[in-house]
A and B are shown apart, each in its own frame.
Chain A
């Protein structure tokens, strides 16, 4: 009971912060979804870092360390490389978005390629990627509430409670609520993760080295990458796909717009790799749990953090850990909902009904929040996937947007909207067929070398995507090169957007 009370107090604090943040700001769509573009360094930092520390890092990270061992380290690697890429990528995106009133990621494609249809496609792709991510947060919420209740609340009821809390929170506060609650969340998660990540190895094993020796002894090969399956080749390809995809997540992409200046991103690229080292302590929790609370199989590995916490600490402390976990689901979850709702209202609904006013788009966006949440809720209650599986699928989906963004970064896009659309469609169909049928390189090419067999399927989809764009663009460029050597290319078009 004590645990649930603490959990409730944290939730009330989060709601109160959300309400406070709302005061003094008229809620237009721009205010609600990108905070009026007035966020300074610290807030953007918190918001962006907050995006990364989701339920996934907390429960999925420890769950993967517990269930799979060394492959979990891919999280540490892809975040680091994603941040170093962001140093070059984000300022360019921000500069372009400035003064163009861009609100969503799809807006960027519409403006760059001058094609609302491409915007619709990107919008649908981003929502398709956001849904598994949202399911992941709701699943996490369910785990946290039901574990913190020591079984008094069933997982199903817990997911319902979590979803209602999330929707209420989003409708009340929008993105400003996210930023301030993100600050509270980061303080809590840092304290909790580092605290118990250091305490557990000391308490149960006498030290970090001793813990790893014990785990290595009990499960040989657990602390290294396998020779086949989750091998170095799997690791490298997964890190690459995920790091390219990191800022293609629509909520992170739109988060870029909230900044006041572009210098913020460069500083973040230096600081965030260090900041995400906290994930390492989350792994320690999972590794400590391997020998202390053995026997959690498959998706249940996501429970390992709470199981070892309940095994070790008093209920009030478990409640506090649950509170930190609650915030890691609430903050990113709210951003995911806001982003998905904004995208659907602005980039799909408005294209279908062009007469919609700005005000009406805002109303549509807000009324879509409960609809989307309910949809994700249904999926959450039906599926039994581990958190990390959901995330990997989502990453493969969003990474398909990367070529289109990069090829547009010059003064004018290097390829046509049609080529980008065809590439995205090809890439996504590949992702879908691979994810649904369980195809891997190994089943396609049984005689290929093992390193090739273990490649992340996202790489194949990305190759299909880029291949299609190249096939459709090279002849066009070649023709244009022959035709327009005398006349200037249509430069004025891009300036007019």
Chain B
């Protein structure tokens, strides 16, 4: 544990961050979902029986799950390459 923590400390934070630029994708749901609200604040056209505002939010719930899924897959493939010790030292110990 302490060795892993030490490794984590000594690795420059900038290096750790630059490899995970795709983490910024996680902002997409917040910006998209909320940013659109003033423009889709209406009942018609209905989508699958839902008022437009409802359909918009539900659509973004699905997109959010998909985006987080992509980030998870990318994180896992990075962790397997052993590129990113910063990702999960504790998880590595458990395996």
Contact A81/B53 with A87-B71, A232-B41, A280-B58 known, Cβ cut-off 8 Å = no
Is B88 a contact of A269 with CB atoms below 8 Å?
no
Considering the complex, give the chain B residue whose CB is closest to the CB of A211. B49
B7 contacts the other chain (CB 8 A): no
Contact A76/B53 with A87-B68, A236-B37 known, Cβ cut-off 8 Å = no
> How does the 8 Å CB contact mask read for A201-245 relative to B, with 1 for contact and 0 for none?
000000111111100100000011100000010011001100100
A73 contacts the other chain (CB 8 A): yes
Q: Residues of B contacting A80 with CB < 8 Å?
A: 29, 33, 60-61, 64
> How does the 8 Å CB contact mask read for B31-64 relative to A, with 1 for contact and 0 for none?
0011001100111001011110110011011101
Is B49 a contact of A208 with CB atoms below 8 Å?
yes
Q: Residues of A contacting B69 with CB < 8 Å?
A: 270
Is B88 a contact of A81 with CB atoms below 8 Å?
no
Is B68 a contact of A273 with CB atoms below 8 Å?
yes
Considering the complex, give the chain A residue whose CB is closest to the CB of B65. A273
Q: Is the interface of B mostly helix, strand, loop or mixed?
A: helix
A261 contacts the other chain (CB 8 A): yes
Among B8, B37, B72, B91, find the residue whose CB has the most chain A CB atoms closer than 10 A: B37
Pull 19 A–B residue pairs with CB atoms less than 8 Å apart, ordered by A. A73-B57, A77-B33, A81-B34, A83-B64, A84-B26, A84-B67, A87-B71, A212-B43, A212-B51, A216-B51, A223-B51, A224-B43, A262-B88, A266-B72, A273-B64, A277-B58, A280-B54, A411-B9, A491-B9
Binding site for A on B (CB under 8 A): 1, 5, 8-9, 13, 23, 26, 29-30, 33-34, 37-38, 41-43, 46, 48-51, 53-54, 57-58, 60-62, 64-65, 67-69, 71-72, 75, 88-91, 94
Extra pairs beyond A95-B90, A225-B53, A261-B91 (10, CB < 8 Å): A70-B53, A84-B64, A216-B43, A216-B51, A223-B53, A235-B37, A266-B75, A267-B72, A274-B62, A411-B9
